A and B are shown apart, each in its own frame.
Chain A
Amino acid sequence: MNADPVAPSFSFEIFERIKPDEYFRRFIEENVRPDGRSLHAFRPTSIRQGAISTANGSAMVRIGGTTVICGIKAEVAEPRIDRPKDGYLVPNVELAPICSANFRPGPPSEQAQINAETINHVVETCQILDLSELCIEEGKAVWTLYADIVCINYDGNILDASLLALICALKDLSLPKATVLPSSIVQADSSEKTRPLQLRRLPVSSTFCVFSNPKVTLSDPNDSEESLSKKIVSIILDTEGTILYVHKSGGSVCDPEMMKDCFTKARARASMLKELIERVIV
């Protein structure tokens, strides 16, 4: 028997399945990723605003294969006693089983909760939006914006996509003109719209995946790259370059040079997305 260890019928798909690390490493050694991108390339990104007419504001964002839709529904609520003028912004992320075989039906997975919490944290602490713009009548009624981000196709890097979708949906938002009647019922007139919300800053997230062997960082990891390395670095900057949020997960260490490198790339990405947002959103 002259068994050839690498038979000609040995297909790359089988190789990828049984030895994903080795398969991936051989690509990286050639400075290219399995999907054909260079190590630092982000996937093509597109934005579509206002596709859903039942929502007060909506946007669809695609980063490569990852597709998310953010729809905002506005309802009226009583303001908090300590903040009589401020409205509410309630972001949530849904990673339903439709978007990947790895998600199960039921309550939100840990990953969905972490993403929603991160976005909520960024929105709250960085004051993207002046919540007093959502006031209808001080101490009586304010708008509550339920921003629900639904993932349709999960191919990695959900944080970048969902934050971008939220920002674009907020820019698309138009609220009806509302008044509080003497009977303390809020009446809305949808024929008259209030002016669009002013966003104080545009946060843009950039995510990187860190590999220790070989030592590389990959921009905008897709699903298979994310599953090979749990070391994810997410940097949220606004379009002026101010750092709003930095998160590094995973056990292995990441040297300062590498972090610096990530910041440079995140800046470049932020200015690229700024152009895209300005082009798409009039």
Chain B
Amino acid sequence: MDRKRVNGPELSVVPVEEHTEEKQILDSKERRLDGRGIDDIRPIFMKSGLISQANGSTYMEFGNAKVVCAVYGPRQMKKPSFTGKGVLNCEIKFATFSCKKRRAFQRDAQEKEFSQILVQALTPAVRLDLLPKSSIDVYVNVLENDGTSSTLAAAISAASVALADAGIEMYDQVAASSIAYVQNKILMDPSALEEESEDGSLVVSYMPSLNEITHILQNGNTESAIANKAVEQCIDACSKIYSVMSTVLLQSLDTSDK
């Protein structure tokens, strides 16, 4: 019982779906259900500066996946204490209606894990040594989740653009992309439907100009040769995403000049 919210009935469940026929994820020509080839990423839409209250912000769509990210800071830390370096705080929240099953308001273990991943993926790129005694707060809100690993990748890329939009000095942008291992094949940027039949997944965060990887997350099992190939493919995709990110940042500069 949550006393601070409007409560519904004590117990409610998702109705059982009537059985529908199994769909093949890949057809004979290796085309996917949405018409993509196996190493195509979904179309990206990105726009920065939509949240006027924040120092920097981005809205990003990765196919159907939608994330909003806002950066507040650099600002004074909540508990005034001395640190020689700035602190990067990240928080990912899935909106209650963003997934197939309704999510709770309280932060769950997955959101805590993702927040931690976001910190680890972004910290190497941010020049925290220039911001002593201050904190940078990055908030990501997932409005629609279409593939958990690709949503995480979108969150990392969006947060990186929002940090740049806030005018925080960085070594490079962090672009992230994901793949799923399905029957020993590598599917780029998997959707929620494809994720249901995956054997494992991989999320790579990468700084394209420096050619450095900041974070790798591999789940499930696969052969090392395939894993190596998957990392290569992710890096390729990151470079594509990076070009979109740069264009968006350049556009935001154009509009703020006027």
Contact = CB atoms under 8 A, between A and B. Distances in A.
Interface string A184-224: 01111111000000000000000000000000000000010
B168 interface: no
Contacts of A117: 6
B250 interface: no
B141 A152 contact: yes
B141 to A, nearest CB: 5
Contact of A101 (B53, B97, B141): B53
A101 B72 contact: yes
Interface string A84-103: 00001011101011111100
A186 B100 contact: no
Interface residues of B, number: 45
B97 A73 contact: yes
A142 B236 CA distance: 50
A113 B8 CA distance: 15
B195 to A, nearest CB: 14
A120 B139 contact: no
B13 interface: yes
A80 B12 CA distance: 12
Given A97-B139, A116-B5, A153-B52, A78 B18 contact: no
Given A52-B98, A73-B102, A153-B51, 12 more contacts: A52-B144, A76-B15, A77-B8, A98-B70, A144-B12, A146-B97, A148-B97, A150-B141, A152-B141, A153-B54, A187-B16, A188-B18
Interface of B: 4-9, 11-18, 20, 50-54, 64, 66, 68-70, 72, 75, 91, 93, 95-100, 102, 105, 137, 139-141, 143-146
Interface of A: 51-55, 58, 65, 67, 69, 71-73, 75-78, 80, 88, 90-92, 94, 96-101, 105, 107-108, 113, 116-117, 120, 144, 146, 148, 150, 152-155, 176, 178, 185-191, 223
